[in-house]
Amino acid sequence: MKFYMHYLLIFIVVAFTSCGQSKSDDYTDMKAEQFQNDVSHDFVQLIDVRTLEEFKAGHLKHAINVDFKSGDFIKNIEKLNSSKPVYIYCKSGNRSKKSVSAFKKVGFTTIYNLKGGFLVWKDKGLPVVKGK
């Protein structure tokens, strides 16, 4: 019985410490609340991969707009510091997930993605900045 309790305790600890995150080999998905906590500092590399029009309509504070659909996307992310973690988001999470391979290609190893994207962020009533 002691043996099973030991493994149950380990399972519970792992489950609680990973709450709000899910990890793939290339990036970590983060729930909005954890993402907000991590990007609340202006020194974080926070990248909005939506179009400029979407960005101007509302974005996260301190975010830099690097449009995934633009022809110079890779050239623009090469200007970032690939030795530092990068936090990315888009409208729903699809473009940001697709952009992971480009971030990996230019040398990023620590990539965090906002699970559900900007739509979930807004639904949770988290702060949004409008304009450029």
What are the structural domain ranges in the chain?
21-123
Reported pTM: 0.81
Binning pLDDT at 50, 70 and 90, where does residue 26 land? Answer: confident
Binning pLDDT at 50, 70 and 90, where does residue 6 land? Answer: very low
| Mean pLDDT confidence for 95-108 | 96
**What pLDDT shows up at residue 41?**
82
Q: What is the mean pLDDT of the chain?
A: 86
**CATH no., domain 21-123:** 3.40.250.10
**What pLDDT shows up at residue 60?**
97
Binning pLDDT at 50, 70 and 90, where does residue 49 land? Answer: very high
Cα separation, 51 vs 130, in Å, equals 14
pLDDT at 12 over 90: no
